[in-house]
Structure 1
Amino acid sequence: NLMMDELARAYAARAAGRPPLWAAPAAPFHAFARRQAARGPDPRALDHWLDALRDAPQPCPIRRPDAPPLHRDPDAADGAANDAGGAWCEIALEPHVSDGLYALSKACAASLFNTVYAAISVALQRLAGLDALTVGTSASGRTDPDYFDTIGYFTTVTAHCLRAPGHLTPRAMIGTVRDMINGSLPHCEIPIDLVEERLSDGTAAPGAHMFEVFIQIHARNALNGALEGPEGPVRFRQVDPDKTDSVLGLQFEVVEDVIGGKRGLRMMMSYRHAHYSAEDVAELVAAVTRTCTAFAREGAADRPLDALLS
């Protein structure tokens, strides 16, 4: 979003025949990286993650307990199950569902991400019959105010363990997610691979994460909009890439779009072929859509999950 704001400002200036003027040069990203590396990991922050995730369940594909075994090619080489080959699909939410999730977020004093995160987690746990689910997510990593306006790859990865027993309500789930994520933000500089290495006593396989599911949000997506010029606006739209692989087992990218003044939500779900069949994908889409729709209903906030999703 920062890059698109600067592009719009620069385009308007160039279209008017003058160079863009900036208040001050941006602090270089690599200077932040060097400062962070010199400081080293905070042992107290590492302890936070070790305590929070010590009893987290091992990752596994999110499938119905009675789902048939996944088909394996008998001629495939060893390790083919770890291949990153995959695909993606879009989960489009109806406008009234998007509006309901926004209203629920406001009622629960939470962000939209907190609400959608909770709904997806509930859907996956109930589909797979899980008592708990470890979810990876991204954190901004912008912990130094001097670098808030710097364009660079600050994003880091964190993980949280969430439980969704049937007696809890959406309000309770959303509050748990909100407090869990907010409480972990001061510790988000710790690399996830360092946490995983310590929790596994160094036995974790390279590239193997402690979570199967990853959820992130592209809030107020700036890749749909218009550049203002002397001959009127030049409108642009995001073109979603066609993904043919998935580094993670199951990834949800929640996109918050505003197009033509209308606000909407959609989810891009990426998955590994080695972890999910076509039937699994259809069930995942149905479960997430059903749970988001239920969360968005009027009066849903304080109904137990068992009653809401029965």
Structure 2
Amino acid sequence: MSDTNTATAPSLANEREEYIWMQQLQEPEQVKYQLAAWLLNPYPDSAILHKSIHSLLATYTELNTRYEFTEDGDLYKYPDTDWTTCVQNEQAAQGQVTALLSTLAQQHWQPEITPPFLATVISTENSVILALRLHPILEEQFTLDGLIKEIHTSYINYSGSEHQLELTPVDLSSLNPAPAKKTQHTNVAALASIILTEFRSTLAEPNMTLDDDFFDFGGHSLLATRVIGNLQNNHGIKLNFNDFFKSPSARALANIAQQEQPVASVTQIQPEQQAPLTLAQDFLWQAYSAFDFSPVYNLPFAIEFQQPVNEEALQQAFNDLIIRHVGLRTLFKTSHQQTLQYTVPITELKQHQWFWPSSDSKDATLATEAAYKFDLTRELPLRIRLLKAHNGNTVLSFLVHHMVIDEWSLNTIMADLNIAYAARLQGKAPVWPNSVPSIHEFARMQQQNGINQQHLDYWCKRLQGAVKGLTLNSTVATASQNTAPQIEWLEIKFDSAFHRNISAFAKKHHASIFSVFYTAIATVLQKEGNLTEIVIGTSASGRTDPNYFDTVGYFTTMVAHRIRFNPQQPFTSLLADTSKQINESIEYADIPINHIQQALGIPDNQGLMFDVYIHIHTNNALNGQLNTPQGAIPYRQILPERNESMFGLHFEIMENQINNQHSLSMIITYQAHRYPTAVVERIAREVKQLLSKLAAQTSAQSGSQ
């Protein structure tokens, strides 16, 4: 038998390999390594043992195979000639062997770079253990018992028949014990250290100290959500958003944090290719259906690259994203008044067109792409098209349907695109930092758990009897249902000095920039309509389970806040009340607005209870850069035209950071047939004047100190 492998040409994977490979990507928790271990007696000759393992690998090249999905939609397997990648040697104390074997069993398989078979020789102070690990993708061809017999036979042949080697199976039944309970950290210093570690990880700021302000290092409400969720999920440390804004350093938070025993999260994983809609998706689908499946729920993102990009590598990178994030390859089908979502298998992706290079986009524009009407029953819910701008730069049109993505997801996608593009430029598949559960898993879990009644009661208690909609002194009667709404929009820009000063004002009053803008808008509307109260809608991430922080999907919920006005109340007092209401409601934001309105007795045909919607785009992911081995490629967002709106007045606060410079702007989209342009322009002007006054006061106070 030869001791040298001969290179074998790549070949197509069979159907079972494709199935296991796809399941590994979609539901890695379902795909477990087979592991067995044997105590070797007497102490074996190390060189002969390794030669015996090498002989096995030379005979069965499938054990050292890599799998890669090509841009043509085919799964290929590539035998590797370096047998040493399938063998590792470990030194361990006798008491550490079980932990080492458990680690081997739980490691994540990466098909492009990890062989499906591994032999680990573990040497302790008085014994040698041989562990064999086999991935299920090869379980029809091999068994661990068969493989160890081959190694044993080769060892006897190489060492001589007079040399015996006894194999005693190691009991591995204790490798999957119940999760150990986390240690209770009643010591404030220990709590502060845990919180600081989470700050550093979330913000990618390894030099943060215990007294550094979370928001001074780029923190914002979405990142605070991630920190709070991870602390609760991993350490049992309970914080709320009001705590965060009042005490935004690790040391200060440790003094007010409550710690409970963390509860292990159990997700029921099911391998089916279909799933129900999430509660948020169900609400969106109802609204989408009411608009006759028009492009109203298209999300037409667009960016312009400031330097040349490799279009082929970009297509491969997006293909990697579609494979990684199941939501991006989902179809929706309704039968018997129930809508389900279906996964498009990776092997069928080549049947769908979703990418157009610039050479195929000569007659296309961002406007024509934005107006495209998806057929979500048969098309992937995204369209990637490259265009050429007049200056020669490449423009990326990224059209995606709202059913499969929210703003949180967009940040995830752009971060993953950066990883994938850099890898594809080097001819490699991306190596992801983690595996992510799918939106389909979340939907099944949510269906199993049902509506959280305590959270629903929270909203009903606060919104019962609230005044619906918005009536201003100049409001025009609603147009006929048959009349197409007249949508207009305008933009207000602020300079960098304003951002610095309004941030200082917000920080001084333990509020966010969003809360300051929100309160300013509410104040101006109160004056415009002489209001006693108003219900304002806004967006919440809907991600109350930290396990799904990196999942691409539509989790976002609309929440409604009831703002009551007191004519004698100063702005700072209203700001405090508003901030408290917004922050404390985040914990209950998993309930879609349609369920809340049904519980309040509001008929579906009356529409939403609010006509004003305010939300913020923080650290917009569409302004950034692709990091490549040759240097960074900056890209900038191209704002879409606003020609659809389901709200009478829609305020979008845009907070960007470009080249370390912060900027703020606000876009107001409005139904001009109900709110005349002159009125909206006056509202915009007064909001800007109020905010500028607050910023100027802060600037003057800081200048006098």
User: Which of 679, 685, 690 lines up with 1:280 in the alignment?
Assistant: 679
> Is 1:175 the counterpart of 2:576 in the alignment?
yes
Paired with 1:15 and 1:175, the residues of 2 have a C-alpha distance of 50
CA contact (8 A) 1:227 1:233 kept: yes
User: Which of 435, 444, 451 lines up with 1:25 in the alignment?
Assistant: 435
> 2:431 corresponds to which letter in structure 1?
L
Report SS of the residue matched to 1:175. helix
Q: Once structures 1 and 2 are overlaid, which stretch shifts more, 213-222 or 164-173?
A: 164-173
| Structure-2 residue corresponding to 1:59 | 469
> Is 1:235 the counterpart of 2:634 in the alignment?
yes
> 2:621 corresponds to which letter in structure 1?
A
Paired with 2:467 and 2:696, the residues of 1 have a C-alpha distance of 31
The Cα shift of 1:6 comes to 1.3
| Structure-2 residue corresponding to 1:290 | 689
Report SS of the residue matched to 1:41. coil
> 1:205 corresponds to which letter in structure 2?
N
Q: Over residues 40-96 of structure 1, what are the superposed CA-to-partner deviations in whole Å (9 max), with x where a residue is unaligned?
A: 1122211111110113212124x3x2x3x6489xxx8x4246x44312211112333
Paired with 1:170 and 1:19, the residues of 2 have a C-alpha distance of 54
Spell out the pairing of 1:134-173 with structure 2 (5 A cutoff): 134-173=535-574
Report SS of the residue matched to 2:614. strand
> Is 1:246 the counterpart of 2:645 in the alignment?
yes
- Which runs of at least 4 in structure 1 moved beyond 6 Å after TM superposition? none
User: Which of 68, 83, 94 lines up with 2:495 in the alignment?
Assistant: 94
Consecutive unaligned residues of structure 1, counting only runs of 5 or more, are 303-310
Paired with 1:114 and 1:224, the residues of 2 have a C-alpha distance of 23
Paired with 1:70 and 1:157, the residues of 2 have a C-alpha distance of 26
> 2:697 corresponds to which letter in structure 1?
E
* Aligned length, in residue pairs: 291
Distance 1:295 1:165, change over 3 A: farther
Paired with 1:46 and 1:183, the residues of 2 have a C-alpha distance of 14
| Structure-2 residue corresponding to 1:205 | 605
Q: Once structures 1 and 2 are overlaid, which stretch shifts more, 148-157 or 94-103?
A: 94-103
Distance 1:79 1:109, change over 3 A: same
Q: Over residues 180-230 of structure 1, what are the superposed CA-to-partner deviations in whole Å (9 max), with x where a residue is unaligned?
A: 12221222111111211222x253425x11001001111111110111223
Report SS of the residue matched to 2:637. coil
Paired with 2:571 and 2:429, the residues of 1 have a C-alpha distance of 51
Distance 1:203 1:18, change over 3 A: closer
Report SS of the residue matched to 1:167. coil
CA contact (8 A) 1:29 1:150 kept: yes
> 1:219 corresponds to which letter in structure 2?
T
Paired with 1:168 and 1:94, the residues of 2 have a C-alpha distance of 29
Report SS of the residue matched to 2:628. coil
TM-score (norm 1): 0.86
CA contact (8 A) 1:134 1:162 kept: yes
Consecutive unaligned residues of structure 2, counting only runs of 5 or more, are 1-410
Paired with 1:91 and 1:104, the residues of 2 have a C-alpha distance of 20
CA contact (8 A) 1:120 1:292 kept: no
| Structure-1 residue corresponding to 2:508 | 107
> 2:668 corresponds to which letter in structure 1?
M
Q: Which has the larger radius of gyration?
A: 2
| Structure-2 residue corresponding to 1:215 | 614
> 1:195 corresponds to which letter in structure 2?
I
Paired with 1:85 and 1:227, the residues of 2 have a C-alpha distance of 38
Report SS of the residue matched to 1:20. coil
User: Which of 36, 50, 53 lines up with 2:446 in the alignment?
Assistant: 36
CA contact (8 A) 2:502 2:695 kept: yes
Paired with 2:497 and 2:698, the residues of 1 have a C-alpha distance of 14
Report SS of the residue matched to 1:26. coil
Paired with 1:16 and 1:126, the residues of 2 have a C-alpha distance of 59
Q: Over residues 163-186 of structure 1, what are the superposed CA-to-partner deviations in whole Å (9 max), with x where a residue is unaligned?
A: 343433333222212211222122
The Cα shift of 1:23 comes to 2.7
Paired with 1:90 and 1:173, the residues of 2 have a C-alpha distance of 26
CA contact (8 A) 1:124 1:287 kept: no
Paired with 1:5 and 1:31, the residues of 2 have a C-alpha distance of 22
Paired with 1:27 and 1:226, the residues of 2 have a C-alpha distance of 27
| Structure-1 residue corresponding to 2:596 | 195
Q: Over residues 242-277 of structure 1, what are the superposed CA-to-partner deviations in whole Å (9 max), with x where a residue is unaligned?
A: 011211111111111112221011111111122111
> 2:436 corresponds to which letter in structure 1?
A
> Is 1:226 the counterpart of 2:625 in the alignment?
yes
Paired with 2:464 and 2:630, the residues of 1 have a C-alpha distance of 59
The Cα shift of 1:127 comes to 2.1
| Structure-1 residue corresponding to 2:521 | 120
Paired with 1:296 and 1:189, the residues of 2 have a C-alpha distance of 34
Report SS of the residue matched to 1:233. strand
User: Which of 418, 421, 424 lines up with 1:8 in the alignment?
Assistant: 418
| Structure-1 residue corresponding to 2:481 | 79
Distance 1:71 1:122, change over 3 A: closer
Paired with 1:124 and 1:34, the residues of 2 have a C-alpha distance of 42
> Is 1:270 the counterpart of 2:680 in the alignment?
no
> Is 1:133 the counterpart of 2:543 in the alignment?
no
Paired with 1:131 and 1:253, the residues of 2 have a C-alpha distance of 24
Q: What is the percentage of aligned positions where both structures have the same residue?
A: 33
> 2:562 corresponds to which letter in structure 1?
C
CA contact (8 A) 2:613 2:650 kept: yes
Paired with 2:632 and 2:458, the residues of 1 have a C-alpha distance of 49
Distance 1:164 1:102, change over 3 A: farther
Paired with 1:211 and 1:297, the residues of 2 have a C-alpha distance of 32
RMSD: 2.3
Paired with 1:210 and 1:97, the residues of 2 have a C-alpha distance of 33
CA contact (8 A) 1:224 1:237 kept: yes
TM-score (norm 2): 0.39
CA contact (8 A) 1:13 1:19 kept: yes
The Cα shift of 1:14 comes to 2.2
Report SS of the residue matched to 2:432. coil
The Cα shift of 1:232 comes to 2.6
CA contact (8 A) 2:501 2:698 kept: no
Paired with 1:240 and 1:15, the residues of 2 have a C-alpha distance of 28
CA contact (8 A) 1:224 1:238 kept: yes
